[in-house]
Amino acid sequence: MENFLQAIDTLTIRFALAAVLLPLFAFVINICLPGKSNKAAGWVSTLAVLVSCALSVFVFSRAWNQHQVHQGQLWFTIGNIKLSAGILLNNLSVLMLLLVSLIALPVHIYSTAYMNNDENYKRYFTYLSFFCFSMLALVVVDSLVLFYIFWELVGFSSYLLIGFWFTRPKAILANKKAFIMNRIGDVGLLTAIIIIYVVFRTFDIEQLFGANALVRSTAFQVPGGWQYVACGGIFLAVAAKSAQFPLHTWLPDAMEGPTSVSALIHAATMVAAGVFLLARVYPIFDSQELVVLAVIGCFTAFMAATIALTQNDLKRILAYSTISQLGFMIMAMGIGAYASSLFHLATHAFFKCLLFLVAGIVIHQVQHIKDEYQLDIDPQNILYMGGLRKKMPLTFIACLIGGLALVGLPLTSGYLSKDGILIQSFEWAEGKSWLFKLIPIGALITSWLTAFYVARLIVKVFFGEFRLMQFNPHIKLHISDGAWQYRLTLLFLAICCLFPLFSLHPVLYEHAWVFSGFSRITGLDRVNIYHTIIPAGVNIFSILVIYWAYAVYVRQKALPFPESGLLFKLSYQEWYVDKFYNRFIVMPVMTLSKTAQWIDRNIIDGFIHLLQRTGILLSKIAEWTDRYIVDGLLHLIADLVLGIGNFARNFQGGKVQYYLFSMLAIILAIFLFKILI
């Protein structure tokens, strides 16, 4: 029996491993494929993701709510430190495995149509496969070292994809920003891992944070303030990856990448890695640190929601909404709603991916119009859109479902997860001081703000008249929902946004299988009054807000807030966070580096140039001495010898009579000499 179980586990592990490695194979194959826009690349990647999706479903069915499967083997040894590499499959990792591959599959299919005309089609799919590999590996690895490696790879592939159109200066700036901000988080994570290793002497996630968590045991004690440093490091990593305040500003800029990438990486999966990290290391936080998490999450959610109210860039609105929802998840982690947080992560992945894909289709069509009539507009600006629901009915319906799920209206998946968080936040604040009450109230206000900006977005894009017509009445619209790849993915994701996928009961989040899979409390109590009041209150008010937005933007009633007020500016300028960073971090750093460059160029280089000039001068003197004194002496001797030789040679004139004459003269001279002496 034991052996049999072990064999089954091994099979599950192998399947999980295959699911992780298939995108890597696709990546390698795509690298080797010839041509820049080889259409085979799309099929290779999509096929790999399809198979790994199927394998993930299998692994999920085997491991969900079963005993956890953990296998590994020795990787390498340094001194006494043994590092093992392996796979850990528990509820959390199989859920993430399934989620990532299930989101990646429609995005791949969508991309085959979306990137069809791009000249770097192959490169796109190569990167995309690489990302899928890193992300899938990130969720199943069992060691913090491996976790860190894949954490970096995920960030790196995100960097590659944000800068996919690297000829655009904005894309380069955006991917640089994303990379640098993620580095800050990476430093935090590395610090935390080192501290954890130093204290607990292991990298194994299961031993550290599993059933008998070492971090909770009394045998080990993290000395002094190091506990806070480690948690702070993890928080930094989470904030950078999941775009939480104060490291959130990279995510809106990351929208410079292709929209399908935004859907997969910057909405559904990679940004959720921060929440996943929190879920992995959850036992390490004590109650105070959790409160900090809740405050940060709540503040981020609120801030991002207010920013999303006034943005005009379709993708930027969605990006801020992502930040806001991620804030919800972090807040849920902070208030101890572990299961709700992960539940919200799962539902959010589907509806945010859906919304981004819708945005991609809309932007694509507006871009076509722009190219056709050579208009000077930003195709992502929602002020130019409008009335698209008649032209693109399927896209409109998908967007509506996604939007309603984002708002959290009943019958959608978002309702189940978001109301879970709200209810639990009120329960958490119960019996605490009024300051703690601010968190659930902030969350509540945020969810109403969400309702408003989602309604604004949908109304501006899909209702009313097509506003480009007002600029140029000659425009003829022949836009549609697009290729079958678009329709299929939208349909699939829209179905996933509805409640039946997650819970058979449309309004009770406790019945959702994702929730019960993580919930540690048995015997759910619904005695609390919040369970009835909050969902009803939130939703009635949300519907009112949506109607209000509809009235404001479609019926053209007076705007509730002037477009020049202080609050409007605060929201439109994104709370001046970016400006603040530019002023107080980027500018000083630039000034510092420019000063350093000046010093380098003028002082260090100047000194070296001085040395160089001195050297040149010295060698010129040496050369002169060599040429005119040393060589001159030699030349003088040579010339002397030559002169003597030439002089002696002159006698050899070839005239025989001269020879004779000179002989005679010499003999006579000798005689004369003899006579005289």
Partner 1 sequence: MIPLSDFLIVSAGLFCTGLYIILSKHNAIQILIGIELMLNAAVLNLVAFGKFDRLNNGGQLFALFAIVLAAATTAVALAIILNVYKKYKTIDPGKIDELRD
Binding site for partner 1 (CB under 8 A): 649, 652-657, 660-661, 664
CA 111/CA 603 separation, integer angstroms = 53
| Structure letter (DSSP) for residue 412 | B
Cβ closest to partner 1, residue 527 vs residue 656: 656
CA 677/CA 674 separation, integer angstroms = 5
CA 590/CA 178 separation, integer angstroms = 17
Task: Please check whether residue 202 is in contact with residue 214, taking contact to mean a CB–CB distance below 8 angstroms.
Answer: yes
State the nearest-atom distance from the C-beta of 660 to partner 1, in Å.
6
State the nearest-atom distance from the C-beta of 638 to partner 1, in Å.
19
State the nearest-atom distance from the C-beta of 674 to partner 1, in Å.
19
State the nearest-atom distance from the C-beta of 669 to partner 1, in Å.
16
State the nearest-atom distance from the C-beta of 664 to partner 1, in Å.
7
Cβ closest to partner 1, residue 374 vs residue 652: 652
Cβ closest to partner 1, residue 611 vs residue 644: 644
Helix axes 338-373, 272-280, angle to 10 degrees: 170
Cβ closest to partner 1, residue 504 vs residue 660: 660
Cβ closest to partner 1, residue 431 vs residue 654: 654
CA 419/CA 325 separation, integer angstroms = 13
**DSSP states along 236-292:** HHHHHHTT-TTS-THHHHGGGS-HHHHHIIIIISTTHHHHHHHHHTGGG--HHHHHH
Cβ closest to partner 1, residue 606 vs residue 653: 653
| Structure letter (DSSP) for residue 557 | P
Task: Please check whether residue 309 is in contact with residue 571, taking contact to mean a CB–CB distance below 8 angstroms.
Answer: yes
Q: Tell me the chain's radius of gyration from C-alpha atoms.
A: 37
- Please report how many Cα atoms fall inside a 13 Å half-sphere around the Cα of residue 433, on the Cβ side: 2
Tokens of 12: 């599950």
State the nearest-atom distance from the C-beta of 649 to partner 1, in Å.
6
State the nearest-atom distance from the C-beta of 655 to partner 1, in Å.
5
Cβ closest to partner 1, residue 557 vs residue 649: 649
State the nearest-atom distance from the C-beta of 632 to partner 1, in Å.
29
Task: Please check whether residue 233 is in contact with residue 239, taking contact to mean a CB–CB distance below 8 angstroms.
Answer: no
Cβ closest to partner 1, residue 580 vs residue 671: 671
Phi, psi at residue 610, to the nearest 5°?
A: -60, -45
Cβ neighbours of residue 481 closer than 8 Å, sequence gap 6 or more: 361, 392, 393, 394, 395, 487, 490
Tokens of 95: 């859920």
- Please report how many Cα atoms fall inside a 13 Å half-sphere around the Cα of residue 65, on the Cβ side: 8
State the nearest-atom distance from the C-beta of 654 to partner 1, in Å.
3
Cβ closest to partner 1, residue 620 vs residue 655: 655
